[in-house]
């Protein structure tokens, strides 16, 4: 397919402020996409050239992209830099500069979607000496071969700032409508996506093999599975109704969730809760998994925590020091970690998702050699609320966050927040205080002491049913002066010109600046009240910033349904 067709689509999507309209435009477009292009187009529309977990990085800084624009247009790099300064956006800069291509630079023919995709991969793959020049050369060639508007989108893709407001769910919905004519297929697609969170594979399978092919998609070692999520209750005794049968009650740790995969060749990969490949951050853990888990192939899950010499859990912030690319060896010593293992999802050629938890737990006891770094979560089996409560207090005494109550008979429900897992944290016990993980969708300029930065952030919950972000509070308290000062820099990457299509807002709440819904914050609030000013229909009273939840994606935020259940 000619890339210009995609450029025209992006132009239309950019103008759209409604999620439904966006799906309509996308599904109409998908109807005419040839099977061999569908995967590529699905990735590009999300502003990517591979799925998020594939660890493909363009490796180009803004400066190199600016130089490539200069090369393509025969303009002086300083002039391009100046325009970038004025527009503040690499895409608009490319469009403006390339509007007037010099006569000598005759277009080299049509740029196809496939050629673009392959060349972008070559850019990502180039490394070592001379690679920056090589990357710039390829990019400038691409920019010459496309229209000025095409150049706008290509530059944004290269810098990871396409920001069209299209999410994975938007693509899946639109595919379902385009290829099956119905929204019902959405469920099958979502189910497959939970086991295989790769829109390229899903879209291609759907187009080539239909829903039958989609139903056959299974666990594949090396490809992360969407993680199972927990519900919450207001009172512990609700467990008796919510989870029939016996429960496995485990410690709940404040660390980083990890899914570890070991493939046939013996290679181990670690994925974060956002399904990013974090293997390189934890070589110590990889070595211990090799040593202490006896299995040829596996997919397991646990929580990584930072520990002191006695094995006592250290603060989440201490663990965050391990989130780094450099000085990894030094920090292995400075911040030793422990893995609290709680699940097995695949073992030696077979998916274990459908095996009841009781059996999965038994299996983990079998394959784990006793050691200090990889340990099973603290646990008891019971169906008695008092016993669970006593265990909760034991866990708090040991410095943990609370407990997880899991149905002993349950399957592992990938990507699902159901009643088979319930969390119970110490905040829930404090009267009228609850925490929410909310998505920042906008900001208001600060005044007085806060002038020059943002005074408050507009936060939203995720509306799962509609794949939307509905607002629920304006957040201004709880941030330190340092955090406040850093806000404009932290959010610069996500700034967009107008309201992202999947965000809903009432007129009264419109912020000064809009953000693509990406950043998740943990917020403590005293109460939930009805509100005409927020599109969830609810407002949080006295919201207070707790911390940034960089481990969560926007779609993993607290849902509107959860808020309704908590009020």
Active-site positions? 252
Residue placing its CB nearer to ligand AMP in the complex, 344 or 505: 344
Rounded to the nearest 5 degrees, what angle is found at the Cα of 320, between the Cα atoms of 314 and 321?
Answer: 95
Size of the site for ligand AMP (CB under 6 A): 12
The region of 81-89, 251-259, 287-295, 503-511 touching ligand AMP under the rule CB under 6 A is 251-259
Q: Is 404 within 8 Å of 374 (Cβ atoms)?
A: no
Residue placing its CB nearer to ligand AMP in the complex, 167 or 251: 251
Q: Is 231 within 8 Å of 204 (Cβ atoms)?
A: no
- For position 426 contacting ligand AMP by CB under 6 A, the verdict is no
Around Cβ 536, how many Cβ atoms within 10 Å?
Answer: 23
The region of 116-124, 143-151, 175-183, 250-258 touching ligand AMP under the rule CB under 6 A is 250-258
- For position 152 contacting ligand AMP by CB under 6 A, the verdict is no
Q: Is 255 within 8 Å of 249 (Cβ atoms)?
A: no
- For position 423 contacting ligand AMP by CB under 6 A, the verdict is yes
Residue placing its CB nearer to ligand AMP in the complex, 297 or 562: 562
- For position 546 contacting ligand AMP by CB under 6 A, the verdict is no
φ, ψ at 268 (rounded to 5°) = -110, 135
CB of 252 to ligand AMP, least distance (A): 4
The 10 Å CB-count burial string (b at 16+, else e) for 285-294 is bbebbeebbe
- For position 230 contacting ligand AMP by CB under 6 A, the verdict is yes
φ, ψ at 216 (rounded to 5°) = -85, -10
The region of 131-139, 181-189, 195-203, 249-257 touching ligand AMP under the rule CB under 6 A is 249-257
Residue of 355, 352, 357 lying closest to 195 (CA atoms): 352
- For position 424 contacting ligand AMP by CB under 6 A, the verdict is no
- For position 555 contacting ligand AMP by CB under 6 A, the verdict is no
Please give the full DSSP string across 217-235, using - where no structure is assigned: ----TTS--PPPEEEE-SS
Residue placing its CB nearer to ligand AMP in the complex, 252 or 322: 252
- For position 253 contacting ligand AMP by CB under 6 A, the verdict is yes
- For position 471 contacting ligand AMP by CB under 6 A, the verdict is no
Q: Which residues contact 44 (CB under 8 A, 6 or more apart)?
A: 6, 113, 116, 117, 157
CB of 239 to ligand AMP, least distance (A): 15
Q: Which residue has the tokens 């139903």?
A: 215
| Alpha-carbon gap, residue 229 to 235, rounded angstroms | 19
User: Residue 362 gets which letter from DSSP?
Assistant: H
Residue placing its CB nearer to ligand AMP in the complex, 21 or 423: 423
User: Residue 111 gets which letter from DSSP?
Assistant: P
CB of 31 to ligand AMP, least distance (A): 38
φ, ψ at 71 (rounded to 5°) = -60, -45
Around Cβ 275, how many Cβ atoms within 10 Å?
Answer: 19
The region of 76-84, 141-149, 246-254, 493-501 touching ligand AMP under the rule CB under 6 A is 246-254
- For position 547 contacting ligand AMP by CB under 6 A, the verdict is no
CB of 205 to ligand AMP, least distance (A): 28
φ, ψ at 523 (rounded to 5°) = -125, 135
- For position 377 contacting ligand AMP by CB under 6 A, the verdict is yes
- For position 351 contacting ligand AMP by CB under 6 A, the verdict is no
CB of 227 to ligand AMP, least distance (A): 6
CB of 330 to ligand AMP, least distance (A): 26
Rounded to the nearest 5 degrees, what angle is found at the Cα of 404, between the Cα atoms of 398 and 408?
Answer: 125
Which residue from 404, 456, 459, 473 is in contact with ligand AMP, where contact means CB under 6 A? 404
The 10 Å CB-count burial string (b at 16+, else e) for 183-207 is eebbebbbbbbbbbbbbbbbbbbbb
CB of 345 to ligand AMP, least distance (A): 13
**For ligand AMP, which residue has the nearest CB?**
257
Contact residues for ligand AMP (CB under 6 A)? 230, 250-253, 257, 273, 303, 342, 377, 404, 423
């Amino acid at each position: 397919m000619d890339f210009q067709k995609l450029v025209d689509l992006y132009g239309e999507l950019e103008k759209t402020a409604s999620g439904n309209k966006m799906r309509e435009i996308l599904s109409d477009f998908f109807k005419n996409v040839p099977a061999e292009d569908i995967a590529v187009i699905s990735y590009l529309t999300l502003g990517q050239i591979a799925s998020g977990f594939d660890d493909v990085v363009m490796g180009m800084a803004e400066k190199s992209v600016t130089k490539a624009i200069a090369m393509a247009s025969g303009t002086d790099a300083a002039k391009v830099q100046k325009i970038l300064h004025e527009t503040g956006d690499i895409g608009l800069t490319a469009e403006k500069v390339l509007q007037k291509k010099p006569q000598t630079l005759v277009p080299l023919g049509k740029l196809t979607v496939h050629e673009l995709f392959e060349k972008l991969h070559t850019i990502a793959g180039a490394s070592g000496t001379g690679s920056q020049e090589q990357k710039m050369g390829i990019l400038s060639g691409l920019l010459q071969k496309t229209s000025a508007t095409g150049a706008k989108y290509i530059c944004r893709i290269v810098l990871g700032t396409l920001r069209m407001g299209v999410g994975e769910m938007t693509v899946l919905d639109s595919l379902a409508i385009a290829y099956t004519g119905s929204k019902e297929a959405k469920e099958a697609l979502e189910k497959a996506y939970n086991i295989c969170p790769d829109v390229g594979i899903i879209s291609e399978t759907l187009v080539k093999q239909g829903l039958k092919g989609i139903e056959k998609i299974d666990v594949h070692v090396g490809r992360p599975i969407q993680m199972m999520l927990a519900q919450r209750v207001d009172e512990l005794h609700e467990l008796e109704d919510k989870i029939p049968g016996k429960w496995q009650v485990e410690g709940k740790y404040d660390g980083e969730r990890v899914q570890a995969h070991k493939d046939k060749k013996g290679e181990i990969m670690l994925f974060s809760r956002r399904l990013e490949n974090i293997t390189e951050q934890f070589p110590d853990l990889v070595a211990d998994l090799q040593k202490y888990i006896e299995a040829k192939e596996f997919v397991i899950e646990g929580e990584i925590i930072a520990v002191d010499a006695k094995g006592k859990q250290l603060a989440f912030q201490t663990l965050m020091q391990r989130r780094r690319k450099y000085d990894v060896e030094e920090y292995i010593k400075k911040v030793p970690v422990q893995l609290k293992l709680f699940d097995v999802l695949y073992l030696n050629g077979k998916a274990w998702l459908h095996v009841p938890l009781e059996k999965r737990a038994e299996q983990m006891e079998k394959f784990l050699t006793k050691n200090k770094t990889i340990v099973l979560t603290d646990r008891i089996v019971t169906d008695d609320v008092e016993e669970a409560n006593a265990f909760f207090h034991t866990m708090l005494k040991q410095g943990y966050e609370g407990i997880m109550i899991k149905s002993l008979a349950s399957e592992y429900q990938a990507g699902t927040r159901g009643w088979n897992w319930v969390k119970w944290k110490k905040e829930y016990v404090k009267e009228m205080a609850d925490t929410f993980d909310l998505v920042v969708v906008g900001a208001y300029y600060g005044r007085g002491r806060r002038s020059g930065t943002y005074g408050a952030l507009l936060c939203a919950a995720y509306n799962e049913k509609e794949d939307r972000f509905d607002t629920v509070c304006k957040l201004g308290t709880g941030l330190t002066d340092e955090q406040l000062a850093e806000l404009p820099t932290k959010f610069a990457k996500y700034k967009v010109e107008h309201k992202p299509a999947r965000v809903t807002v009432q007129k009264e709440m419109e912020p000064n600046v809009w953000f693509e819904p990406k950043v998740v914050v943990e917020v403590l609030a005293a109460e939930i009240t009805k509100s005409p000013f927020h599109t969830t229909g609810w407002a949080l009273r006295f919201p207070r910033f707790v911390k940034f939840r960089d481990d969560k994606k926007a779609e993993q935020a607290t849902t509107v349904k959860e808020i309704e259940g908590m009020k």
